[in-house]
A and B are shown apart, each in its own frame.
Chain A
Amino acid sequence: MAAVPEPIGADVGRGGAQGYAADWARAVRRLGFVPLSAAETERLLLVHTVRLAQAVRAEPFTARPAEEVGRALVEAHLTEPRALEWALRALGADFPHRVLAAAGRPADLSERIAAVQGGLAAGYARALRDRTFAQQERIARSAWQARDEVEQALRDSEARFRAVFTGAAIGIGIAGVDGQIIDVNQAFADMLGYSIEELCQANVAELFHADDAAGMWDLYQEMVEGKQDSARLEKRYYRKDGSVVWTDLAVSLIRHDDGRPRFTVAMIEDITERYELQQRLRFQALHDPLTGLPNRTLFFETLGRVFDSAAPERRVGVCFLDLDGFKAINDSLGHDLGDRLLVVIGRRLAECVAEHGHLVARMGGDEFVILVDGGQDAVAVAQTALAAVAAPVHVGDQQLAVSASVGVVECPAEETTASELMKAADATLYWAKAAGRGRYAVYDPERSARDLARAALVAGLPAALERGEFVLHYQPIVSLLEGRMLAVEALVRWQHPELGLIGPDRFIGLAEETGLIVGLGEWVLRTACRDAERWWREFPDARLVVSVNLAARQADDPAIVDTVADVLATTGLPAELLQLELTESAVMGSAGEPLRSLHRLAALGIRLAVDDFGTGYSNLAYLRRLPIHCLKLAGPFVEGIRADGTDVAADHRDERIVDALVRLAHALELWVTAEAVETGVQAERLRALRCDTGQGRYFGAPAPAEVITARLRGGAAG
């Protein structure tokens, strides 16, 4: 800030100049913006006041200093027009008498003041014009500069994006909301086999593929309507040459500033190879490599879908097919031929049923399954399949005749599940196999329930023996002549923890099949002998014989003689008080001739009886030579006797048979016991026919040992 110049001449009233400057400062500060404090403004204007005063009085006179003051005012930013007005007016009015001492006033004062006013205005105007030009120029330059910078930044970023766009390995395409393609990059064009120019004339709707996923075009529509901002999916395109390219497609919506949809940008990556590999892997995962048929995974997937989508009443059927004796073929001809056989069978099955829409799958080994398409007759499909398998097969130079067994299950979808259905099919296949080769079986839920119950019993048998769940009941065998109880037949019962008391008919067969009969039989023998020994000790005069059944499998076992001997020895029962009952077939043994051990058993001193005599095939010639003591007449003969009056002829026939059998037995010196005697009439007739003993409800139902003991104690003979 300039220092206040010394006034020239003492006549310039410093006090007057100061007052003038103060007023001037107040005015400019009131009228416009001054970037200075009040004191600074005042000091500045005092400088100019003094300069103006000096100028007015200078000799020779010039208005130049006034011009400089005008310029200086602008430079100090005292540019408010009304402030200028104030300054000029004050110069003309107050200035001379307030600032210029009367002595120092030149003669031509008014001309000089006018010149100073003019000079100041000119200096001011020139400076203001310069400043305005300068500021206008600077602000314009700044604006362009800023704009350049922004544009440069835009250009830079656009150049970067261009480089990305053109150089990208990924295909990029831009389209308007009307679908018209605006630009694509080379990669995009290459992927579709067109030139960029060709694509730029196309509309995205032309890139439609008939197999586009459902909803794909709806999604696109939503996008151009602004309801979606991006989407990502797999899409296939037709290339110009008609081939297909699979792509991973990502589409994004670009909006106007106000949010209206503007462009869609699609980015595609060629995933054809990956897709094909996936397809191949998926095919491999779902198909059997040997036959090329669907595998069990695909089968179960398909079956699951059928169940998921089937109407409740819709019927679902499967044929579960298994080659008969395939293992033997494999073993004798080698795996290679076995495999080739499977290939042929697989192809035949596929050919004969697939055309009806059925699915043929290989489940593994020589098992195939046919999923019968809705509502068609599964049995007919099974028959077709069996016929297809049955035609001779040529593999290598071999001609093979193979057959298969089929389990057929068919039922409404709502009644079962996929896994139950397959379990049923498996069981049914087993029935078909059991029934012989080359046939089908149809699932029977009742049979299946029986099988299941049976299986449950079989599973429980071994533990039952260990846990002592078996008990013996005894049924009296009574003399028809005198009514005395001569013997009791030991009958085994199973005290099942859940099912209660179970008769032997329900489990002896199972025990025989599983071999458990040997252990169970021995337990029966031992227990019966122990009981009998007690009776013998307590009631020696009764000489009560215990009769124990011997299953064929037991009788066949050479160790049976030792077992019986051991039982007699350990229980102390006299041998003659034990009778073993064998069926006719057991007597004949598995070798087709009578058991060798019969003689050795008889040699122990025990009695042997033939059970259910008359139902099987007995070679009377053998019978004569065997050490048999007793025949037990099978129930049906005795039942015929009971029916008195209604069918006289039939009665008589049964009576004559019994008569003949008794006579035969007696001729062979055998005792005869009639089983299943239910009524007094029957007992009477049997006695008349000279049958020796009777057994049946009439003489007493099977009962626990205590009941027998009580009966012995009571002494009642009948």
Chain B
Amino acid sequence: MPDGLPTEIDLTRPSAARVYDYFLGGAHNFEIDRQLAEQIASMTPNLAATMRSGREFLRRAVRALLDAGIDQFLDIGSGIPTVGNVHEVAQAANPKARVVYVDIDPVAVAHSRELLAGNDLTGVVHADLREPERILTETHQLNLIDFSRPMGILLAGVVHFVPDAARPEEILSTLRAAAAPGSFLVISHSTFEDQPQEMLDAQRLSARTDTEITLRSRAQITGFFGDWTVLEPGVVHMPLWRPDSPSDVDEHPERFGAFGGVARYDQSAG
């Protein structure tokens, strides 16, 4: 059993993946998850919207990558694929697209396996983002992603689960180093910038799921892209990242409390 992974399944504790599913309208959750979700929602009515906006950002980013010709994705912190999953979005555009899901939550992993059974172009890895080498090795073993070709590395709503002590910048640089030129990196990450106090309080509640969230600044989050080229419009509040239509943009895009950005590995940068 990998070091960072749980050695027992404690269903009396809420799980981030299942709480998230609930906010997205899924029923892949238990009473304990829903209680926490309702509690969070009562404190920050925005939060459900935040989750949706995160999911929408991911969808738009994946679409953008597909448009750029990317046909293989490594989705780390994939959660419970309720709906609008990366493979659905990707395979709708390109039926040959390949996706590897990675999550630390054993229930999420078991669920993904079940849901994806029979889909030969997808795979699931049970691993911890804090062990990027392990993620890369196990992904290699699945033989789905060709590391010599450009791929999309998706880190949506997950890096903030990695505390500073676990050196997230090193984790990111390990992942970037594994990618071929032309690859893309997608990150969405909670921030304290432009946030009201109740958002910061809610963040403290998340300590009751398995992992606490570390809010970071725009500069820190931009740093996770390393020397890759950050694409327009940069690292921005999520709804501002290439909205489907201007009317889609909320009046207060900062209220979702998270930045999103996409960068590309240009040969000259490497």
A residues 129-176 touching B (CB-CB < 8 Å): 131-132, 135-136, 138-139, 141-143, 145-147, 149-150, 153-154, 157
Contacts of A36 in B (CB 8 A): 84
Closest to B115 in A: A138
Which residue in A38, A143, A147, A154 is a CB contact (below 8 Å) of B247? A38
| Closest residue of A by beta carbon distance from B89 | A35
Cβ of B23: which chain A residues have Cβ within 8 Å of it?
Answer: 33
Are B244 and A149 in contact, with the CB atoms below 8 A?
no
**Would you call B106 and A146 a contact (CB within 8 A)?**
yes
Interface size on B, residues (CB 8 A): 42
In the complex, A39→B245 CA distance in Å?
A: 9
A153 contact set on B, CB distance < 8 A: 1, 7
Question: Which residues of B are found within 8 Å of A35, using beta-carbon distances?
Answer: 55, 59, 83-84, 88-89
Measured CB to CB, the closest approach of chain A to B212, in angstroms, equals: 18
The reply on B218 being an interface residue by CB < 8 A is no
B-contact 0/1 string along A1-45, CB 8 Å cutoff: 000000000000000000000000000010011011111000000
A531 at the interface (CB under 8 A from B): no
> Interface-forming stretch among B24-32, B167-175, B230-238?
B24-32
For B120, the chain A residues whose CB sits under 8 A away are none
Interface residues of B in 25-72 (CB under 8 A from A): 25-30, 48, 51-52, 55, 59-60, 63
- Nearest Cβ in chain A — how far from B258, in angstroms? 15
Per a CB cutoff under 8 Å, which of B9, B11, B24, B247 touches A33? B24
A185 proximal to B (CB < 8 A): no
Cβ of B59: which chain A residues have Cβ within 8 Å of it?
A: 35, 37
B18 contacts chain A at the CB level, 8 A cutoff: yes
A150 to B247, CA, bound (A): 47
Contact in complex: B83, A149 (CB < 8 Å): no
Output the least CB separation between B206 and chain A (Å): 19
Q: Pick from B7, B51, B82, B248: contact of A38, CB below 8 A.
A: B248
Q: Does A339 belong to the interface (CB within 8 Å)?
A: no
Inter-chain CB contacts under 8 Å: number: 93
Closest to B55 in A: A33
**Of B26, B51, B110, B244, which contacts A135 at CB under 8 A?**
B26
- Whether A79 pairs with B110 at a CB distance below 8 angstroms is no
Chain A residues with CB under 8 Å of B248's CB are: 29, 38
User: Which of the residues A79, A139, A147 comes within 8 Å of B80, measured between beta carbons?
Assistant: A139
Q: Is B3 an interface residue (CB 8 A)?
A: no
A80 within 8 A of B: yes
In contact, B110 and A142 (Cβ under 8 angstroms): yes
Q: Which residue of chain A lies nearest to B83 when distances are taken between CB atoms in the complex?
A: A77
| CB 8 Å contact bits of A32-62 with B (1 = contact, 0 = none) | 1101111100000000000000000000000
Contact assessment for B84 and A77 in the assembled complex, using a CB-CB cutoff below 8 Å: yes
Alpha-carbon distance A39/B244, docked complex (angstroms): 8
Q: Are A138 and B83 in contact (CB under 8 A)?
A: no
Q: Contact: B25 with A77, CB < 8 Å? A: yes
Say if the beta carbon of B187 comes within 8 Å of chain A.
no
**B107 with A146: CB separation less than 8 A:** yes
Tell me, rounded to whole Å, the shortest Cβ–Cβ distance linking B169 to chain A: 30
Q: How far is the CA of A146 from the CA of B8 in the complex (A)?
A: 9
Q: How far is the CA of A139 from the CA of B7 in the complex (A)?
A: 19
Minimum distance in angstroms from B56 CB to a CB of chain A = 8
Complex contact B30–A139 (CB within 8 A): yes
Quick check: B111 and A138 within 8 Å, CB to CB?
yes
Contact B27 A143 (CB under 8 A): no
State A149–B83 Cα separation when bound (angstroms): 25
Say which residue of B1, B7, B51, B111 sits within 8 Å of A142 (CB atoms).
B111
Nearest CB of chain B from residue A699's CB, rounded to whole Å: 107
Contacts of B80 in A (CB 8 A): 139
Which listed residue, A29, A33, A142, touches B107 by the CB 8 Å rule? A142
With the chains together, A143 CA to B15 CA distance in Å? 11
The verdict on B186 contacting chain A, using a C-beta distance below 8 Å, is: no
Instruction: Please determine whether A33 and B106 come into contact, CB atoms closer than 8 angstroms.
Output: no
The 8 Å CB contact of A149, one of B24, B26, B89, B106, is: B106
Q: Which residue of B lies closest to A41 (CB)?
A: B244
**Residues in chain B near residue A32, CB distance under 8 A:** 25, 52
Are B244 and A38 neighbours in the complex by a CB distance under 8 Å?
Answer: yes
- By beta carbon, the residue of chain A nearest B108 is A142
Chain B binding surface, main DSSP class: helix
* Beta-carbon contacts under 8 Å, B143-195 to A: none
Separation of A38 and B110 alpha carbons in the complex (Å): 32
What residues of chain A lie closer than 8 Å to B115, measured between beta carbons?
138
Closest chain-A Cβ to B193's Cβ sits at a distance in Å of 24
Asked if B110 and A33 sit within 8 Å, CB to CB, the answer is: no
Assembly CA distance A77 to B60 (angstroms): 18
Q: Are A150 and B27 in contact (CB under 8 A)?
A: no
Within A55-91, the residues touching B (CB, 8 Å) are 77, 79-80
Per a CB cutoff under 8 Å, which of A37, A80, A145 touches B110?
A145
Contact partner of B8 (CB less than 8 A), chosen from A136, A139, A150, is A150
CB distance from B147 to the nearest CB of A (A): 28
Contacts of A38 in B (CB 8 A): 244-245, 247-248
Query: What is the minimal beta-carbon distance from B124 to any residue of chain A, in angstroms?
Result: 11
In angstroms, Cα B48 to Cα A33, docked, is: 9
Contact yes or no, B83 A146, CB < 8 A: no
Asked whether B95 is an interface residue with its Cβ less than 8 Å from the other chain, the reply is: no
Is B114 on the interface with A (CB-CB < 8 A)? yes
Which residues on the B side are within 8 Å of A138 (C-beta)?
28, 111, 114-115
Residues of the A chain whose Cβ atoms lie less than 8 Å from the Cβ of B89: 35
> Does B111 lie within 8 Å of A33, measured CB to CB?
no
Instruction: Determine whether B109 belongs to the interface, using a CB cutoff of 8 Å to chain A.
Output: yes
- What is the CA–CA distance of A132 and B29 in the complex, to the nearest angstrom? 10
Tell me the A241-286 residues at the B interface (CB within 8 Å).
none
| A37–B25 alpha-carbon span in the complex (Å) | 17
In the bound complex, residues from chain B placing their C-beta under 8 Å from that of A157 are 1
Most buried by B among A35, A37, A38, A139: A139
CB pair B24 A142 closer than 8 Å: no
**Residues of chain B lying within 8 A (CB to CB) of residue A33:** 23-25, 48, 51-52, 55, 84
Contact check, A139 vs B55: say whether CB atoms are below 8 A apart: no
Q: Which residues of A contact B244 (CB under 8 A)?
A: 37-39
Query: How far is it, in angstroms, between the C-alpha of A587 and the C-alpha of B30 when the chains are bound?
Result: 131
Contact between A150 and B83, CB atoms less than 8 A apart = no
Q: Shortest beta-carbon distance, B240 to chain A, in Å?
A: 16
In angstroms, Cα B23 to Cα A35, docked, is: 13
Q: Contacts of B7 on A, CB cut-off 8 Å?
A: 150, 153-154
B6 proximal to A (CB < 8 A): yes
Return A157 CB to nearest CB of chain B, in Å: 8
A80 CA / B26 CA spacing, docked (Å) = 10
Q: How many angstroms between the C-alpha atoms of A147 and B18 in the bound complex?
A: 16
Please state if A147 and B9 are interface contacts (CB–CB under 8 Å). yes
Q: Pick from A32, A142, A153 the residue with the most CB of B within 10 Å.
A: A142
Q: Give Cα A283 to B107, complex, Å.
A: 66
Residue ID in chain B nearest A134 by CB atoms = B27
Q: Could you tell me if B114 and A145 are in contact, using CB atoms closer than 8 angstroms?
A: yes
Taking a contact as CB atoms under 8 Å apart, the answer to whether A135 and B84 are in contact is no
Q: How far is the CA of A147 from the CA of B245 in the complex (A)?
A: 44
Which residues of chain A have C-beta atoms less than 8 A from B110's C-beta? 141-143, 145-146, 149
Q: B60 to chain A: which residues have CB within 8 Å? A: 37
Q: Let me know if A80 and B25 touch, CB within 8 A.
A: yes
Q: Roughly how many angstroms separate A132 CA and B22 CA in the complex, as a whole number?
A: 11
- B1: nearest residue on chain A (CB-CB)? A153
Chain A residue nearest to B33 (CB atoms) is A139
Closest chain A CB from B140 CB (angstroms) = 22
CA distance A113 to B141 in the complex (A): 57
Q: Give complex CA distance A646, B30 in Å.
A: 135
Are B9 and A143 in contact, with the CB atoms below 8 A?
A: yes
The residue on B at minimum CB distance from A36 is: B84
Partner of A146, one of B27, B88, B109: B109
Identify 15 new A-B residue pairs, CB closer than 8 A, beyond the known A32-B25, A77-B25: A33-B25, A33-B84, A37-B59, A38-B245, A77-B84, A135-B82, A138-B28, A139-B28, A141-B110, A146-B107, A150-B1, A150-B7, A154-B7, A154-B8, A157-B1
- 8 A-B contact pairs sorted by A residue (CB < 8 Å): A33-B23, A33-B24, A139-B21, A139-B111, A142-B107, A143-B11, A150-B9, A154-B7
Which 3 A-B residue pairings sit nearest by Cβ, starting from the closest?
Answer: A35-B84, A142-B111, A146-B106
